[in-house]
Structure 1
Amino acid sequence: MNIQPPLSNVVFEEGIANFSIFLYSALERKGNEFISPYSITSAMLLLVLGTGTTTKYEMETAIFEYEEPDDVNRGYKLLNDKLSTRTAPGVTFAIANKLYASQGLNLLNTFSTKASTIYGSVVERLDFVKNTENSRVTINNWISANTNNKIKDMIPKNVLNKDTLLVLANAIYFKGTWKTEFNKNDTRQRNFFVSTNEQTLVQMMYGEFDAKSGEDLDLDCKILQLPYKGNKISMAFILPNSGDGLTELENILTNNDLTTLVSGLKTQKTLIRIPKFTMQREYDLKPIFSVLGITEIFDPMIADFSEMVQSDAHMSDARHKAYIEVNEEGSEAAAATTVTIQVRSNISPKPKPFQFVADHPFLFLIQDDETGIPLFIGRFTRP
C-alpha cells in the first residue's frame, strides 16, 4: 500500500508570510497600529480569483514577490484547512469569507463555484438598488457575528449604492488563553515612556516564569514569545533596546523574516512586564495597496474582472478594521476586510532571569507557529 506524502505548501506559506510584512510596512505607522494581514490577504486572493490579464498579474506578483506558487488556490485551501484545526481548549480561531452580489448580477459559474469550494465563500443576493441601507446592515451584521461582536459598523453609510455589484467580506477572530497566565494581583500601575520627553501610567502585567526570550545584538532588540494553550499559536513581542528605536527597528525588519527572529529563541527564566491594552484601528486599503503596486483594480478603464462578471467593473472601496485586547488571561483579536466592486539572528544569553520590560514602544504579532504565518501584527506606542 502506497501512502502519499502530504502536499508541500512551503512556497505559498512563505509568500503569504513575506507579504504580511509588506502589508504592515505599507502603513504610515505614526502611533498605535494593528492589522490582520491574513484577513486582508484572504480577501485579496478571493478577489484575484475573479480577475484576468494584467490586473491578475499585478495582484499576484505583488502578493508573491519572490516566488509564485504553482497553484495559488490550492495553496490557500491547504493553508486555511490547516489553520481551521487550531481551535482547541483555551483557543478559538475562526476565519470566514462571504460574497454579497447584486440581485441582477450575472456571476460566472466558474467563479462562484471556486469561491465556494476553495474559499468557503457562499453567495448571498442583496438588493443594492432599492434596499441599499438594509444591504449594508446585513453585511455589517454578518461581520459582527463572525468576530464575536468586536468589529461593528464595518461598512459606513454612502459606501454602497445602486451601482454596487459585489461585496467581498472576510472576518477573522481569535481568542487565546496564555499557556502560563499572569496573576491579576501582580498587575500594577507603572510608567510607560511614550518618548524621551513623555511618560504616562499604564496597567503593567508582571510574571516571572520559563519563557522563550532573548536578545538580538544585530537588531538591538529583545524578543519574547508567549504561547497560548495548545502550543500552536503564540504572541511575540519585539522590544527595541532604545526607547525611541521602534521606527528604525521596523524599517530593518521589513527586509527580515520576523518568524526567523522568533524561532531562534531559547527557553529561560524570564522576568516579564507587559502593558494591558485594548486597541481598535480602521484603514482605507486604497493607499496601502497603491504603495504595494496594486492600482489597476481601482481604475474603471483598466480593471479586468472578466473571470467574475461579464459587465465592466472596478473596485470602488476597500477597507480593513481590527481589534485586540491583551490582558492577564490572554488575548482576543478580530479583524474584517471588505472589498466593494462597482460597475465601472543571534541570541545573547543573559544572567537569569532574563528581563523583558516593555515600558516603551514595541512591536507585537500573533502567529501560527507551524507555518510562521502572522495572523495579526501591530505596534504599541501609547496607552
Structure 2
Amino acid sequence: MEWLILSLLVTMASSVDSFLDHEYSRTALGDNIDKASVKLLREAYLSSENTNVVTSPLGVLLLLSLYSSGTQGKTRDEITQLLHVTDYKEMLDSYSGLSKEYASINSSYLSLANKIYVASGCGLNDEFFRTATTYNTEVASINFHNVDNAAHIINQWANEKLKGLIKDPVSKSSLDKDALVALFNVIYFKGHWHVPFQASLTEDKDFHVNRTLTVKKRMMHLKKSLFFNADDELGAKMIELPYQEPGFRMVVILPNEVDGLPEVLEKVAQKGLLDNVFALSPARRKVNLYLPKFDIKSSLDFTQILPKLGVKGIFSGGAHGIVKERSVAISKIFQEAAVNVDEEGAKAGAFTGAVIVPLSTRYKSPPPMDFIVDHPFLFTILHQDVIVFLGTFTH
C-alpha cells in the first residue's frame, strides 16, 4: 500500500476588543464543529506535556471532510461520526462552502487556504479533484524524493499565508519521500479589540497555577459592559470580547475552581460549548476584567489523537478514490498552531461598547462585577457560530 501524508498547518494571532452588535446565527454546521472541536481539544490537552495548548480543530475537520470523499465504508463512517454528520452530501457542501466563504474574507485579518501537493508522475482521481476544487483548493506537482526541496517549496507557500507568525512549519522529517500526495490547510487570524486594553493599566498580578503554586503574570485590565454567562452545572463562568473584524469574538471560560479546568473540559467534550456561548447576555453592569497576556505555540500530533476518538481507518485502510489507480492511507497528520493575546490591535479607539437598558431617572448604577482570570482557563475564537481556534492556558 502506498502512503499518503496529511499535514496540517494552522496559526493565529490576536489582539483585544469590546463589542459591536450581537446578531449571531446558530447553524447545524456550527453545532457539529463545536462538538468535534472540544473533543479534539480535550485529547490534545490530555496528550500534551505542556498544558498551554492552542489548536484550530476547524483545520483538522476541513481536511478530514475532504479526505473522506476519497474513502468508503468503515473509514468514511469513522470520519463522519467524529464530524457528527448524518447527511454526507450536506456535510461536503457545508465544509466546501465554509472554505469558499473564509477564502473570500479580507485577507488582512483572516486567511484560509487549502493546498494539495501531488507526487511527480501521479494524478488525482477525477472525482476527488472536482471535490477539492469546491473546497477552494490549489493543486500542484512536487518531487517528494528530494525531501529538502519539497519542504522548502511547501514552506514558501506556508510562510506567505502565515505572514511570518510560524516560520518554516514543515521540516524534512515531516515528509516522506515515498508520499504520493500531501494535503495542507492554513488558517491565519489577526483581530483587533474594539475597546483595547490600555497598556498603562497592565500590571503584575497573582496567577494560581494550582492550589499550591502561585506565580506573577502580566494582567491586562478593562472595565466595560460585556456579555457574561455563569453556569453552575458546567462549573464555570464566561465573558465575551468581540473584535472589530465583523463576526469575530473571543470567549474566555473560567472554571469556578482553581483546579477545575480538567473537569470543565470533560463536560464541554460531552455537550459542546455553543449552548453556553449562545446563553451569553448583557451583564447589565460594568465588568471589572483582568486577563493575562499570553503567547502559546503548539505542535500537535493528530496521528496519535484521532485514533483515541475512533478515527483509525485513515491510517490503515486503503483509500481508492484519491490518487488514480493507487490505494493510499495517511501516514502523518500534524498541526502547528500559535496564538498571541495582548493589549494591541485597536486601530481606532473611538468605539465604546455599551449595553443600553431602560432605567428610571433615579436608578443608581450597580458596582462593577469582577471577572478576574487568575487561574487556568479555556478560550475560543469564533466566527459567528463556528469555532475557529480553541485552547487552554494553565501557567
- Normalising by structure 1, we get a TM-score of 0.85
Q: 2:111 aligns with which of 94, 102, 126?
A: 94
Contact 1:270/1:352 (8 A) holds in 2: no
Tell me by how many angstroms 1:155 deviates: 2.4
| Amino acid aligned to 2:69 | L
In structure 2, how many angstroms separate the alpha carbons of the residues matched to 1:176 and 1:315? 34
Counterpart for residue 215 of structure 1 = 230
Counterpart for residue 132 of structure 1 = 147
| Amino acid aligned to 1:57 | D
Counterpart for residue 376 of structure 1 = 389
Q: List runs of 5+ in structure 2 lacking aligned partners.
A: 1-24, 347-364
Report the CA distance shift for 1:214/1:160 in structure 2 as closer, same or farther (over 3 A): closer
Report the CA distance shift for 1:11/1:241 in structure 2 as closer, same or farther (over 3 A): closer
- Partner SS state of residue 78, structure 1: helix
Counterpart for residue 72 of structure 1 = 91
- Partner SS state of residue 45, structure 1: helix
Q: How many residues are matched?
A: 348
| Amino acid aligned to 2:372 | V
Tell me by how many angstroms 1:376 deviates: 0.5
Per mean C-alpha deviation after superposition, the further-off stretch among 237-246 and 49-58 is: 49-58
In structure 2, how many angstroms separate the alpha carbons of the residues matched to 1:220 and 1:56? 36
**What CA deviation, in whole Å up to 9, does each residue of 1:85-137 have, x standing for no partner?**
5549xx71110000000011122222212212x111121101112x2210111
Q: Please state if 1:167 is matched with 2:182.
A: yes
Q: 1:290 aligns with which of 299, 307, 315?
A: 307
Tell me by how many angstroms 1:330 deviates: 4.8
| Amino acid aligned to 1:124 | A
* Cα RMSD, aligned residues only: 2.2
Q: 1:319 aligns with which of 297, 318, 334?
A: 334
Percent of aligned pairs with the same amino acid: 29
Contact 2:206/2:215 (8 A) holds in 1: yes
Q: 1:243 aligns with which of 245, 258, 261?
A: 258
Tell me by how many angstroms 1:203 deviates: 0.7
- Partner SS state of residue 73, structure 1: helix
Report the CA distance shift for 1:84/1:267 in structure 2 as closer, same or farther (over 3 A): farther
Q: List runs of 5+ in structure 1 lacking aligned partners.
A: 1-7, 332-349
Listed as ranges, the matches of 1:1-383 within 5 Å are: 10-29=27-46, 31-64=51-84, 67-84=86-103, 86-87=105-106, 92-116=109-133, 118-129=134-145, 131-268=146-283, 269-299=286-316, 302-330=317-345, 352-369=367-384, 372-382=385-395
Report the CA distance shift for 1:54/1:222 in structure 2 as closer, same or farther (over 3 A): closer
- Partner SS state of residue 172, structure 2: coil
- Partner SS state of residue 177, structure 1: coil
**What CA deviation, in whole Å up to 9, does each residue of 1:318-374 have, x standing for no partner?**
11111000001259xxxxxxxxxxxxxxxxxx95312110011010000112xx111
- Partner SS state of residue 209, structure 2: strand
In structure 2, how many angstroms separate the alpha carbons of the residues matched to 1:86 and 1:271? 33
Contact 2:301/2:333 (8 A) holds in 1: yes
- Partner SS state of residue 289, structure 1: helix
Contact 1:86/1:93 (8 A) holds in 2: yes
Contact 1:103/1:126 (8 A) holds in 2: yes
Structure (1 or 2) with the greater strand fraction: 1
In structure 2, how many angstroms separate the alpha carbons of the residues matched to 1:104 and 1:308? 11
Report the CA distance shift for 1:40/1:294 in structure 2 as closer, same or farther (over 3 A): same
Counterpart for residue 334 of structure 1 = none
In structure 2, how many angstroms separate the alpha carbons of the residues matched to 1:14 and 1:70? 17
Tell me by how many angstroms 1:191 deviates: 1.3
Counterpart for residue 342 of structure 1 = none
In structure 1, how many angstroms separate the alpha carbons of the residues matched to 2:40 and 2:314? 17
Counterpart for residue 21 of structure 2 = none
- Normalising by structure 2, we get a TM-score of 0.83
